[in-house]
Each structure stands twice: as structure tokens, then as C-alpha cells.
Structure 1
């Protein structure tokens, strides 16, 4: 036997990781270790909320998995994941004897991830939607902690994560909806902006724009911060250094250019399918959704103050009012530009959009910077006060989440 044939067969050595990868991996592991206590509290809060909902759902004869993974918008995402975009669907409407809606109102990233899971694993589309949403919620909580820790330290970061998990409508974070995915992408994109990682920020903003219509808020934050960064560099450089500064700024330019492509790309695709540049906006109008600067919302508030309506509508009104107050407090605290632009755009889209009043609190779920004033106040308060406040928020969140899924008959 020759020396060549008797030599042991070994797999080729993997390529050595790049210096950037060697730096990034330990940093992420350290960040995850620091976030572990907050993530544990977040997971416990969501688990208790799910147990409460499941117990009541079983009592009234409803299946928890169906409520979480196959109701309202989740039905549409499951349909796109299974069959792709079919264009239209006929839904029953008592007033109109059936009305046609288009599934192109729903952005593609979430159903694409669902379909990928069903291709790789022997699970249904409903289960895949829940898996994607739950993993995204955990990544979102981690990203929220990373942003809070970077700006204000670990105590504020923990309070921020816990508050996000104890929102009145936090049950949505456990549903097969796109808000957890958008929040995860937005939090880490904002973190990348704050740490001057422009390519990562732009790539994550691109994905955020492909996940939800209001994902454009992430791109707005990246573009505004990129413009501010370029202006700062130009002001800081002398005349001889201008050309060198321009050459070193390509990452900023690239991140800003990448950031809106997911949102614009989907709008362009729908426009091609519809044969009109405003095809996506026509789809939204068919659903009764348009940007009217809040006129429809104000009319609905007036209706609520005069007539009887579901309890969920009044809770939504209170949440929106609190959100406006928190926005004012956030602006007064002068947060970093990335957080400010992102939150302002999200709130403007939510308050300025027409119809779906009960869904507006859900649209604000990704606006986690609104919770920063509360998180700061809780870390400055006495421990007993903070614990009592957290307990009250938890109790209401668990009860109201159960009510939304099992009792309330309104679109979420």
C-alpha cells in the first residue's frame, strides 16, 4: 500500500474567520450573557400570559394554537406561505354581501420565512408562523436590551425589556404576526446605527422594510442619521481632507442606499403586478386604509365618546393617548437622532392612518423607545414602587391579552 493511499482522509480545514467575524462573535456572546436575566424575565412574562390565555380558551372551547397562529392577519400570512400571492380573496361582509380584498397588502418577508421553515422541517405553515414570531420576539427583546444598555446601562435596559413584554397588548408578541419580526430588525438596525456599523444598519433596515408597511420608519432613521454623519464629517475635516473623508464615507452612503430597498422593492413589485405605479396604495385603499392625517381617527374618537363600543376600543384610545404623552417626554429627553426619527415616523403612520382603530396599539408595538421615559423612572423609583408597578402592569397585561384573543370580537 502506498503512502498516499494509506494516509488518513480528512475534511479540508474551514477558512479562517475574518477579523471582523472574530471581533463580532465574542461581542455578541457577551451581549447575550448580559441580556440573559432580562430575557429570562421577558420569557417568563410571555409564558404566564400564554398560560392564562390557553386556560380560558380551553374553558370556552377554543384552541389556543388557532387563536395564536390562524386568526385575523395570520390567515393571510398562512395563505401566502402556502400558495404565494394569488392576488385577491373574497371575504364575507354582511353589509356588502362579499367584498374582494388583495393579499398583496401583506409584505413578503414573514411568509417567506414561514415557507422556508415548512420546506426544511416537517411542520405546518401555522406552526412555522408561530416559530418565526416567537424567535423574532426573543431576538427583539435582546435588541431592545442592547439599545437600552448602550444608552443608559443595564438596569434601564432590563426595565425596558420587561416593560415591552408587559404592554397591555403584548399577547401580539406571541402571535403569528409581523410586529415581533419588525421590532427585532428595527432594534438591531438602530443599534448598528448607534455603533456606526452602517452596512449592517442598512441591510437590517432593508429587511425591516420588507416585513411591514411601517418598516419604512427604520429606513428613515438610517437615512437621517447617515446624512447627519456625513455632514458632521464634512464639518470636522479641513479643506485638504475633504476628498479623503468622502472616500472613507462609502459605508455610510451604502448603508443609506440599502435601507429603503426592501420597502421600495415590494411597492415596485406590486405596482408591476397591478400595472400602476400606485398599485400598492390602491390595494390599501381597497382595504379601507389610507393616510388621512388622522381625520378618520378623530371622527372615531368622537364616536366612542358618544356611543357604546367594545371595551377594546376604549383601551386602544387610552394606549394611544399614553403613547402621545410618552412621545412628548421622549422628545424632551433629547434621545439620539436614530431613536427619535424612528419613533416619530412610527407614531405618525399609526395616528395618521385611517380605519382599524383597535389595531393601532399593535402598530405601535415596534415603537419601544416610547418606553424609555418609563424605564428611566422605574430605575429611579424605590424598589417597592417598581415591583408594585410591574405587578400591576403584569396583571392587566395577562387579563387583557386573554380578553383580546378569547372574548373581544374585533380585528387585532
Structure 2
């Protein structure tokens, strides 16, 4: 007779400690995302948070079992573009009513919500005051519950650009600590962010939607500056992500050697060709526009920003379809913080509507994302030696990818999230 276990959020918080005995995860079937094949009656053995064996049949007698019978399981999901210390409810100037440390606690709540939504790994592309590296450390030490986090700390950019602080008048002297206006300055900014824990470097190659006095399509860093950032990041063994809406900035970032292009809204045919030739991943947030345009005004978002969102959204979706048809590598990216973190799983259905098969959309949030992170075989897969990060759904996600908008169970490192 199997010994069943009910592992709580408190147990998850201490999951960084070695598990004393093997745990087994059982389910009706497992999606092998690499092949698209289903494996019936999988039995996944887990020790110290990692998968040690995958068999079929039943778990050993008297074993500790996470019983997901009646469910389909697949790898824990990966969101490649989030902002954990933000919430869309506080748009425009409404965020100024809170103290700085408010956002640290917001980050903690958002991390828990993303984990419960099935995202066991997230890439945090920009935050204030090193909020998220502190959160990451607290999760790793077992004090808080949340996903694995790959964070950029402050995003790099030009003075007055999208990654600078652009909402306040000169008397406030509000500046981002990560702006730079020459290749040498920006190399130093890379080193500073890495010094304080950054595992990826983000730079704003163009203007953006949620800033003032910046146009999304206009390039804001030169090719020489972008090349310095990417080279310095790679020198330290870090990946480089470029916020880029406009065609010129996208192509400059690809030529500079950036690993992922965020948003890529106005990418043109040459940009698509370059991305395919160089193996650059596109990280396109094609779901959040409905939320922004329906709720943004009520949330305090300025008309200037809403107008830019209306300009960007249709072009981005059209170009998502073009890039996918061309065979460009693509990853799942929500820009959570612009929209609620707990709702980002709804993007899978939009990806399918815009041309991906359900399996391609799932791969974008698993094996493709792991490859873009430089963590293939660690996350985004159910293979021996990978982290035992698992989501479970009732139905067939290959028939209805909408199953991933409301997952039934989440396992992180071999511990069930209640």
C-alpha cells in the first residue's frame, strides 16, 4: 500500500534542504515536450529536488508519493519576461503613494502567484532597488515561496531613455543608477549589476510604451553601445536581453550579439532574417494588450502610454505570426507586471491563435526558454538530472492549450505546492 503525502507551502519553503528519502510523482500520463509523445503511467523518482529516474507502472510500496492520478503532467513552465515588483493596478503616478519597501512585499506576493499558476522558473527583466535579487535569495534560503528566478536587477539604458526614470521633474533628480552614455560607461553598468547578483543583463535599445517622452520605435543606444553591453555580459558568462520595439533597434541589438529580443513589435523582414540566421530568440508579449487597454485608464495609466500601446499591439501580433512562419526561435514572455502575474497562462491560447501549434507554444515555455536561459537539461524538461518541476492539468494540453491557463497542481523541486 502506498504511503500518501500532503506537502504544504511550508514544506516547499524549506525545499532547498536535501530531502531525506526519494519521493515519487505518479500520474496518468506525461507529455514529453521534446517529442510531443505521451508516456502512460509515469513514475518520476526525485531526490534532493532532482529527477533520478523515470519509469512506468507504479511507485514502490511504502514510498512517499505525490499522487497526481487522473492528470496529465508536463515540465514546469518558464516565463522569460516578468517584473515581479510591479502590479498593473498602480499605473501612472498612482505608485508614488507607497513607500519604497512596499514593492519588495509586492514582489513576494507576485512570486507566489506565478508559482501557483505553474511558472516554476521566471526571468525578471528589470526592477527597482534590487528588490528581486533579495526575493530570490529569500526563496533560495527557504524563507519565502516562489519560482526559480533569473534576474537582471536594474535595466541598462540611455539618459532620458525608456530604462531611465522619466516621470518626475528635474527638481527630483530622479535617475536610474544603470544609465550610461558611452560604451565604457555601459560596460561598467554591466559589471555593477553582476556585482549585486544579476544573472542576465537587460538593456533598452529603443523607447517603450510605459515611459514618458520616449517613442517605442526609436533607437536609443548606438550599435557600439549595444555591442559593449552584450560583449561585457558574455565576458562574465551572462546572457543579454534587449528591450527593442523598433526595427532599427532590433537589428542593432541582434548584430550586437544579444541573446533575446524583448517585444520585437516592429521587426521587419531583415530583422526576422537576421534573428533566424544568428539564432536570436524573440520574446514577444502578445497577451497583455487587452488588459492594458481595458483596465489601464482605471489603473491610472496615462493617455500617452495607452496611445503607444494601441500603436504597438497590432503590429506586434502580426509580426509574431510572420516570425513564427519564418522559423525564428521564440520563447514565452508575458511582461507580467504590465498585466496580473496570476493570469499570464492565458497567453498560450493567443500564441496558438496567432499560428503556433499547442506543442510549439508549450515548447516556447519549456525547452526553448531553457535553451535561451542557458539552462537546458536543468529546467523546462522532465529528464533525469533535471529539477523536478512539474505542472498537472486535467485534460489534454495538446488538444486544448487553454488547460495551461488554470493548472491543477504544481510541483517545484519534488515538493507539491498546495
Per the normalisation by structure 1, the TM-score is 0.31
Identify, as 1 or 2, the structure richer in helix.
Answer: 1
Whichever of the two has the greater Rg, that structure is 1
- Greater strand content: 2
